[in-house]
Amino acid sequence: MNKTHLISSLILGLCSASAFASVSLLSSSQCQAMTSNNVMAPKAPVQCDRLRNVTFTHYNFEGKTATGKVVVLDAVAPYVDRIFNELYKKGFPIAQAQPIEQFGGDDNKSMDANNTSAFNYRPIAGKSSLSLHAYGVAVDINPLQNPFVEFTSWGTATFKPLKGHEYANRMLNRLGKKEQRGLAESAIATFTNNGFVYWGGYWDTPIDFQHFQTSRDMAYLMTDMPEKDASTFFKNYVGWVSSCQQNYGSEQMDTFLDYSAYLKTELNTTSSLNRLYKANPNAVIQAINKTAKASQTRCFG
C-alpha cells in the first residue's frame, strides 16, 4: 500500500467512524435550556453532570442520513451509543431524534412529531410517580410507528400519538402490503443486548411500544452510585445478558433472571439492590467487582 493510499484509507476510516455515534458532556447552555423548558429541575433525581449526549447518524424514512441526539445517564451512555450504531448499520429508520427541550419538555408534542427521545424529568403518564425517563435510563423510539396504547374499562383503546392507530397491526410483513419499517419489534434484540431488557411492548396495559428501559431498581441504584461504580454495574449487567444468551440461548427470555437477580442471590437478600446499597454500599460494590458466574439456573428461572 503506497503512502497516498494509506492516508486516503485513514481519512475514509475517520469519516466512517464519525458517521456513527459519540458521547459528550452537556454544556451549561444546554442544561439551562433544559431547565427553562421544564426538562430539568433542582429536585430531579439526576442532574446535568450525570447526563450525557449521545449524538448519532441515522437513516430517516426517506432513506437519507440525518443526525440525532438523545440525553441519557452517564453509565448507560456507551451502550446507547452502541444501540444507535447498530441500528444505523442495520438500516433501521428513525424519523428524528432531538432532545425534548426542543418541544418545551412536552412529551405529547414530541410524540406528535414522531421524535425519538430519552431524558425528561416528568412523571409516568397519568400517574404521580416519576418516569424512568427522569433517570435517563429510558428511550422512546419512533412514537408514530410505536404508539402508547391505553385501554378504558369498557375496552376502548386510545393511541398516542393519535395517528399511531395506523400501526395497531404489529406484523412486519403482511400479504399485499408494504413491509412495516421502524417498528420497535425489529430493535428488541439490539436494545436487550445492550442492557435495555425491559420493553413497554411486553406490558398488558398500557402497552408502550416505543419504550425501552432498565428496571426501576437499577435506575435508583445507578443514580445513587458514583459514576464509576454505576458504569461498572451496567457494564457487568450487559455482560451478564451476553453470557446467558451465548451459553444458553435467547429463546428463554420470558424466564430470564437478570444481573440484579444474580447480585441479590450473591448477597443473600430479597431486598432491592438500591435499599441494600444505601444500608451497606461496600457489600454491594464488592459483589459488583467480583466476576459473575453464569449458569443455566442463574440465567433462567
What is the chain's mean pLDDT, rounded?
92
**At residue 277, what is the residue type?**
Y
> Residues 5-25: pLDDT tens digits?
434 443 434 444 445 669 999
Closest CA to 167 of 197, 188, 142, 200: 142
**What's the pLDDT score for residue 286?**
97
Flag whether 170 is in a domain: yes
Model confidence at 276, in pLDDT bands (50, 70, 90)? very high
Q: Both 187 and 252 in a single domain? A: no
Model confidence at 252, in pLDDT bands (50, 70, 90)? confident
What average pLDDT does the segment 96-107 reach? 97
Domain that holds residue 33: 20-213
**What's the pLDDT score for residue 8?**
40
Closest CA to 253 of 286, 205, 299: 299
- Which residue bears the cell 430531579? 44
DSSP code at position 69: E
Flag whether 203 is in a domain: yes
> Residues 132-145: pLDDT tens digits?
999 999 999 999 99
What total number of domains does the chain contain? 2
pTM of the model: 0.91
Q: Tally Cβ neighbours within 10 Å of residue 274.
A: 20
Dist CA 76 CA 237 (whole Å): 10
What average pLDDT does the segment 107-121 reach? 98
For the cut 80, the answer to whether the pLDDT of residue 101 exceeds it is: yes
DSSP code at position 293: -
Flag whether 10 is in a domain: no
Strands of the sheet containing 148-151, edge to edge, are 157-160, 148-151, 207-208
